[in-house]
Chains A and B, each alone.
Chain A
Amino acid sequence: MTSLDPGRNEQSVGPSIDSPAAERVQRFRETFSAIERSVAGVIVGHEAAVQKVLAAFFAGGHVLLEGVPGLGKTLMVRSVSQALGLTFKRIQFTPDLMPSDITGAQILTERDGEREFQFRRGPIFANIVLADEINRATPKTQSAVLEAMEERQVTSFGETHSLPDPFFVLATQNPIELEGTYPLPEAQLDRFLFKLVVEPPSRAELKEILKRTTTDAAQQVSIVLDTAAALDAIAEMRLLVRQVMLAPPLEDYIVSLIHAASPNGAGRVSSVQTYVRYGPGPRAAQAVALGAKVNALLDGRGHTSFEDIADTVLPALRHRLILNFQAEAENVTAEQIVADVTRSLPRP
């Protein structure tokens, strides 16, 4: 598994003061840790992936999970939604899936002898949506999710329907079965805050999976936030994330990072110029900053640091670097280029 662990200290490293700010940060950390523990009761391993999924959720973004079948991606998402006490819907993307199957459709209904069209909400109307194997649907269907992900609303027959808040899309895609799939377009990829690669379990994790799934000792997800309080708590946590301080020199560093990863940007590195067709856009900078802020809160701090940013760069940039044919021919991956970019930039 790719190490995405930010090295979060479970011990409180922040100041032991009783200010409201400190209390808010402390509450955030406790809630976050409780959700992690709850999910870990069902999902073996994948701690870093779970943490990044939660970070993206509280940062207000969406996550693309990539991994071979059977690694527990769907279970992970279902567990997170259960722990948060939010509504959860799962959409299995197939080539014949139509946009109306996702967003909903106008259905002719008869009421009091009068026939009228009534909008029947699709599965996208949920707090947490799992778009399973999203690359198996046609681009037409994939693009139906675009508006929902970015605008948090659905338009059908000229009527706009708002999606519930919070709205969180977790998409999965299988990197090996590419036949009959439709790779996600760049515009849709850019709408995911992070792209996480789910790695196969280790030996010890596999033994634990065996123990949990082949005995009667089945684990249940404990609900951390009950449904009534969940929405307020989540809104407060999302607000807190955005209140974390980000020093201007660190902002400059993020901007330099994005420019260095763009083939036409200032200060680009040689590997970017050689292998990258399209570089990251402004959403990438937002993703890095928001991910760093969540990391800072998880560390009990009210400000971001260089380490927080460095930990977020890879999941925020890897799917935003569109490589060219030369990179494909030479087996150069986006991860290698991101590593080149971070190495080339001096610490602020």
Chain B
Amino acid sequence: MLDRLLNTQTFMTAQGAMDGIAARHAALTDNIANINTPGYQRKEVPFEQQLAAARSQGFDAGGRTAAFRPTTITDHSGTARQDGNNVDIEMEMVALADNSLRYEVMAQYVSGFFSGLKGVIQAR
């Protein structure tokens, strides 16, 4: 019974989004940590399309998000910097702020989902 409530598409998507946002956070912190490393190429996690694809396939047969694993890619775009490093600190900091807000939104959503569920269970 609980499985049917917890393994809905929406809930699984929210779960996948949180995984993706956390992976993106790791990539962003990596970029910030390597701001002074010569030749470093920035990383990014464009998980949205991947998540949409996993969602359209109904995730996997067991109804788990295991099929969805956010992949980290390397951005080989050019740079104006002398040391070949293509990290732009302003862009990274803005992306970091944006990313934490997105995580908060998702956390709040999942929290709301659970409190709704709790309300139903307690028949209030």
Pair from one complex: no
| B interface residues with partner A (beta carbon < 8 Å) | none
| A interface residues with partner B (beta carbon < 8 Å) | none
